[in-house]
Amino acid sequence: MELSGAEIVVQALIDEGVEYVFGYPGGAVLHIYDAFFKQDKVKHILVRHEQGATHAADGYARATGRCGVCLVTSGPGATNAVTGIATAYMDSIPMVILTGQVPTPVIGSDAFQEVDTVGITRPCVKHNFLVKDLSKLAETIRKAFYLAASGRPGPVLVDIPKDITDPNIKVPYAYPRDIRMRSYNPAQKGHLGQVKKAVEAILGAKRPVIYTGGGVILGEGVQSLRELVKETGFPITSTLMGLGAYPMTDRQFLGMLGMHGTYEANMAMHETDVLIAVGARFDDRVTGKIQHFCPHAKIIHIDIDPSSISKNVRVDVPIVGPVASVLTDLVRLLKEHGLDPAHEELADWWKQIEEWRRMDCLAYDRNSALIKPQLAVETLYKVTKGELYLTSDVGQHQMFAAQFYPFEEPRRWINSGGLGTMGFGLPAAMGVKLAFPEVEVACISGEASILMCIQEMATCKQYNLPIKVLLLNNGYMGMVRQWQEFFYESRYSHSYVDALPDFVKLAESFGHVGMRVEKPAELEAAMTEAFAMKDRFVFMDVVVDPTENVYPMIEAGKGHHQMHLSPERELA
Amino acid sequence: MRHIISVLLENEAGALSRVAGLFSARGYNIESLAVAPTDDPTLSRMTLVTRGSEEIIEQIKKQLNKLVDTVKLLDLSEGPHIEREMMLIKVRAVGEGREELKRLTEIFRAKIIDVTDTSYVVELTGTSNKIDAFIQAVPEGQLVEVVRSGPSGISRGEKGLGL
């Protein structure tokens, strides 16, 4: 079969089994778009801004575990995509980004819509390629998919000059199934000797804690993790990215840890003697001040990426390998040793944890005349019965959702954890909804975040994506305002959004349904009504208490034991 | 601690900038970096010299290994190894100083490879310390220009860093 470069791009996507490509056309990719026009196997979703394309592909990848794909043009197309690429990179999301480039002969001449895409994206991709030879195009695309999805996943970019896609130049095409790269060999299995060391540490543990991150979900380690937790009877806490890997309503789950984690999770971290870290990277929002981090603990760390190990915190038992296979080995060896989960010290440890739990650190004013954001999230949980894919933007609403919407399954909670990208939620929800049209998909957001990618409401209209937006509208950049209140003596420098649109009319102008909710008593009925509109995109503008803060909170530079619970309840 | 690290890289466009970018993005020190193709035209060999605590050096090696273009890496400082650096140095050579510089060249077993009425270009190969010592020994006011290659290194013994 002889194909042009443009046809090779499309055929490679078909051979890769790609369902959706999120993209935006432009000069450098016109040959490729023409090839798209002539087929109907891969569906192209036209976004309204390239950032939306990357977040939609990202949301699709997070929800399905498959590679997300986007296609953008050269120059501004590529630079607009950078935020979304960096977002995926920070959270290790498998994604392939195809970018058009100016024709090979004019590269470097400051041609129209030329940027050094490979140079600009180098620090925020797992790898990138500039295709200089048509005969290598298919192989390069195959490599991109292989790299993106294997080992520690991440975005991989392929920059394709326009002349490479010339419809008049054809070459023989065969899609390479097996790709070997001598320079790339991700770990296939953990070292058994190290796993045995971990078993020893676990058997000697008096106050153990399991601390899991997004890697458990990305590495499909959920089942073996759940088995480990049940087998050991140990308490488990999770980072923002790992929520849902273990059922959040289960008694053994202590809630999220870190800056806005629960009192019981953070205190358990501070007092633990054996910490079992799985697919987590000891991010600063999780550890607090490193010098105060888990001061009494022997640390076991399971991760696919050797460079994550001992990067921020020195660990005692490193295990490099795929989370799923290492956890399976660990559970098997523990069973052989016959660990008794009810041993006396563990029972004492649980007694202590239950005492911390009685602090009820997430308590808030349930009698408020204003809608508390926490109540809005709890109502969302009630109305959707926990059966929801929830995407989020970044800020207070993100933390409230993480605290008050208990996910039972992985891949249901979709948010930008590492980069903290405002504008992520709505386009990410489009990717999720396309992947799972039969399931409810909602986006929780704030009035500041949502405006960063609001144009994607048009995409939702065009492809009839009945997403529900839950806007917690407090008129502030809530998290910025909170920090200014705490650390800048309430000088609210530019955190107030002075000229907000009428979101109801805005949604209506895009052809959607808009609702405004202002009273706590109206909340449940309004949400029930919104979710009853199965085939409509509904925008719920919920006016919430503008001064509510996220608690508990550990200030930057403090340890896990130095939490603020609320203005009324300071710890000694 | 000073470490000298050898890296075999895919001889691809951009591989060098991935390494350079890694050091600047993560704030690592880089003292020198020497790179050229090997006997296998698909591979480049890089020798880099860096400084940092053991933790930092460990991270540098992990991060270098993580680059998709990195085929193999060896920390030469962990075992017996040989380091050589080459210098081209231009000196003012007039009057009595001219003879003095010629003697200096002989003492260091360097070579004079360009001569004018008023200058020499001297080529010297050795460890970085030896090259430092030569520069120190050039009488004040005589030094015109220094070009150093940065060290290259190889391990001692029969084992090689190959595929």
Residues A462 and A329 both lie in one domain: no
What values do phi and psi take at A528, rounded to 5? Answer: -60, -45
Question: What's the confidence (pLDDT) of residue A556?
Answer: 86
Residues A266 and A197 both lie in one domain: yes
Contact between B66 and A306 using a beta-carbon 8 Å cutoff? yes
A70 lies in a domain? yes
A560 lies in a domain? no
A530 lies in a domain? yes
Domain boundary among B46, B64, B79: B79
A162 is catalytic: yes
What is the CATH number for A99? 3.40.50.970
Which of A89, A90, A307, A312 to probe the B interface (max B CBs under 10 A)?
A307
pLDDT band at A527 (very low <50, low <70, confident <90, very high): very high
**Contact call for residues A471 and A442 (beta carbons, < 8 A):** no
A50 is catalytic: yes
Contact between A123 and B21 using a beta-carbon 8 Å cutoff? yes
Q: How close is the nearest chain B Cα to the Cα of A467, in Å?
A: 38
Residue in B17, B55, B58 closest to A122 by CB: B17
This complex has an ipTM of 0.92
Domain count, chain B: 2
Domain count, chain A: 3
Condensed to tens digits (0 to 9), the pLDDT of residues A217-252 reads: 999 999 999 999 999 999 999 999 999 999 999 999
B162 lies in a domain? no
Residues A396 and A342 both lie in one domain: no
Q: How close is the nearest chain A Cα to the Cα of B89, in Å?
A: 35
- Both tokens of A315, joined, read 């660990």
Residues A163 and A202 both lie in one domain: no
Residue pointed to by tokens 């969302």: A380
* A489 Cβ contact list (under 8 Å, min separation 6): none
Residues B89 and B69 both lie in one domain: no
Higher pLDDT, A100 or A179: A100
Higher pLDDT, A392 or A292: A392
Express as a percent the part of chain A with pLDDT over 70: 99
B163 lies in a domain? no
B160 lies in a domain? no
Residue in B25, B62, B68 closest to A306 by CB: B62
Condensed to tens digits (0 to 9), the pLDDT of residues B93-102 reads: 999 889 999 9
Answer whether residue A569 shows pLDDT above 90. Answer: no
Question: What's the confidence (pLDDT) of residue A341?
Answer: 66
| Run of H or E including B2 | strand B2-10
**Residue B130 belongs to domain spanning:** 82-152
pLDDT band at A387 (very low <50, low <70, confident <90, very high): very high
Answer whether residue A571 shows pLDDT above 70. Answer: no
Alpha carbon distance A462, A444 (integer Å): 21
A178 lies in a domain? no
Contact between B59 and A123 using a beta-carbon 8 Å cutoff? no
Condensed to tens digits (0 to 9), the pLDDT of residues A316-363 reads: 999 999 999 999 999 999 999 887 766 899 999 999 999 999 999 999
Residue in A130, A132, A307 closest to B63 by CB: A307
Residues B61 and B93 both lie in one domain: no
Helix, coil or strand: residue A256: strand
Least confident of A173-177, A332-336, B158-162: B158-162
DSSP string, A387-424: --EEEE-SSHHHHHHHHHS--SSTTSEE---SS--TT-
What is the CATH number for B125? 3.30.70.1150
Contact between B68 and A126 using a beta-carbon 8 Å cutoff? yes
Question: What's the confidence (pLDDT) of residue A161?
Answer: 98
A436 is catalytic: no
State whether the Cα torsion A262-A267-A270-A271 is positive or negative. Answer: negative
Give chain B's contact residues with A (Cβ, < 8 Å): 9-10, 13-14, 17-18, 21, 25, 55, 58-59, 62-63, 65-66, 68-71, 163
Give pairs for A526-531: CB < 8 Å, separation 24+: A527/A379, A527/A380, A527/A383, A527/A470, A528/A383, A530/A468, A531/A383, A531/A384, A531/A440, A531/A468
Strand order in the sheet with B32-37: B32-37, B43-51, B2-10, B70-75
Answer whether residue A269 shows pLDDT above 60. Answer: yes
Q: How close is the nearest chain A Cα to the Cα of B64, in Å?
A: 9
What is the CATH number for A316? 3.40.50.1220
Choice among A267, A269, A479, A563 that is catalytic? A479
Question: What's the confidence (pLDDT) of residue A557?
Answer: 87
* β-pair partners for B109: none
Contact between A307 and B65 using a beta-carbon 8 Å cutoff? yes
Which of A157, A183, A301 to probe the B interface (max B CBs under 10 A)?
A183
Residues of B in contact with A123 (CB under 8 A): 21, 25
Mark A348-373 as b/e (b = at least 16 C-beta within 10 Å): ebbeebeebbebebbebeeeeebbbb
B17 lies in a domain? yes
Alpha carbon distance A219, A199 (integer Å): 21
Residues of B in contact with A147 (CB under 8 A): 68
Could you tell me which chain A residue has the CA closest to the CA of B43? A183
Residues of B in contact with A305 (CB under 8 A): 66
* Inter-chain CB pairs, A–B, below 8 Å: 40
Least confident of A305-319, A339-353, B78-92, B130-144: A339-353
Residues of A in contact with B71 (CB under 8 A): 182-183
Residue in B55, B66, B71 closest to A307 by CB: B66
Residues B118 and B148 both lie in one domain: yes
Question: What's the confidence (pLDDT) of residue A140?
Answer: 97
Residues A102 and A146 both lie in one domain: yes
